[in-house]
Structure 1
Amino acid sequence: MKNVNLKSTHVLPNILTAAGRDAWISVLFSIIPIIIMGLMIFYMSRPLERESLLSFLRNHYSSLFVKILAV
């Protein structure tokens, strides 16, 4: 399987080239999903209480569901 590597150092020059002087707008639009993802991770990690995600799922859901998610 090929490793997909989307580092900001590879993507940012392409965005700047395509957008030209309006590249700052793409930076502003990228802040919104980052904040949403950060809040989702924060609220999802609160019930874990320093427990790994898989062990939390094993304790709260069926083993079949956990095996499907683990793959």
Structure 2
Amino acid sequence: MQAKTSRTLINKKKLLAMIPLCERTIYNLEQRGEFPRRIALTSRNVAWDLADVEQWIETRKSSGIQAARPGMGA
């Protein structure tokens, strides 16, 4: 018997509170497969799996990716 796992879904407002990126950037990351995909709940309402978003944050923290400093050139 498979263990039942409960999933917590978050709406766009909560996602944007967690991830300080604009909606367009998040959408572009999703399209490139670099961010958890949104889940269509209805034709006008979407959500994200909280565990997937938290995993994405942890991966970013441990990846060592560093943003270029302003004026340093990339």
Q: TM-score, normalised by structure 2?
A: 0.29
> Could you say which structure has the higher helix fraction?
1
- In terms of fraction of residues, the more strand-rich structure is 2
